[in-house]
């Protein structure tokens, strides 16, 4: 009986935390979706699930990116310690990396790896799905980032999508700047 009461109390506490996180999202602040989803999943499970160890960015780090003349946000990032240029794209579910930049980062794909159908500005194409060791932008570092690799002719510039952005504390556009907080 006591274990059931403790479990119910834990579920209620987690539910309150989830509602608080969802209210942050509703108030216009983009919050860490991975943390929100983890809290929701924990509330539904009766026993704690094993956790996969990943390095999250240190909270308090902040990167400010000024808008380019085309009102987009571009950033140089280290992918597996190799520099690549990205367009920040909150509409992209995953990081998308040009094949040449992937090779520079030590990621090699073959034609057989291009099995995932994806929609790009150039239409539908095939991509390889990989997990990048890390992406770092001025001290904000995320390990184990899912990414699509596309042939260079299918992708004009690398896209910094939600598989990276959702793991930050917040992403905010304000006054011609994009503010990434880890």
Q: Encode pLDDT of 53-97 as tens digits.
A: 333 444 558 999 999 999 999 999 999 999 999 999 999 999 999
Q: Are 116 and 127 in contact (CB under 8 A)?
A: yes
Q: What is the pLDDT of residue 61?
A: 85
Mean pLDDT (whole number) for 14-21 = 38
Average pLDDT along the chain:
76
Mean pLDDT (whole number) for 161-168 = 96
Using the Cα atoms of residue 120, residue 103, residue 94 and residue 28 in order, give the sign of their dihedral: negative
Which class in CATH covers the domain with range 62-181?
mainly beta
Question: In this model, does residue 28 exceed pLDDT 70?
Answer: no
pLDDT class for 182, splitting at 50, 70, 90? confident
Alpha-carbon span 136 to 156, nearest angstrom: 21
What is the four-CA torsion angle of 77, 87, 181, 36, rounded to 10 degrees? -110
Domain residue limits, the chain: 2-44, 62-181
- Interhelix angle 33-44/2-26, rounded to 10 degrees, is 150
- The whole-model pTM stands at 0.67
The lowest-confidence range among 28-37, 109-118, 123-132 is 28-37
């Amino acid at each position: 009986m006591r274990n059931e009461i403790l479990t119910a109390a834990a579920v209620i506490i987690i539910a309150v935390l989830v509602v608080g996180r969802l209210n942050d999202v509703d108030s216009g602040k983009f919050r860490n979706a991975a943390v929100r989803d983890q809290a929701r999943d924990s509330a539904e499970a009766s026993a704690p699930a094993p956790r996969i160890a990943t390095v999250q960015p240190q909270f308090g780090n902040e990167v400010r990116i000024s808008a380019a003349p085309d009102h987009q946000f571009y950033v140089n990032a280290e992918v597996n310690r190799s520099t690549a240029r990205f367009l920040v794209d909150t509409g992209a579910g995953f990081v998308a990396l040009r094949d040449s930049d992937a090779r520079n980062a030590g990621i090699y794909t073959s034609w057989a790896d291009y099995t995932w159908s994806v929609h790009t500005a150039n239409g539908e194409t095939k991509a390889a799905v990989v997990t990048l060791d890390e992406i770092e932008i001025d001290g904000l570092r995320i390990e184990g980032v899912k990414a699509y690799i596309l042939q260079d002719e299918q992708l004009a510039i690398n896209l910094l999508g939600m598989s990276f952005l959702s793991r930050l504390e917040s992403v905010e556009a304000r006054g011609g700047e994009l503010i990434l907080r880890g």
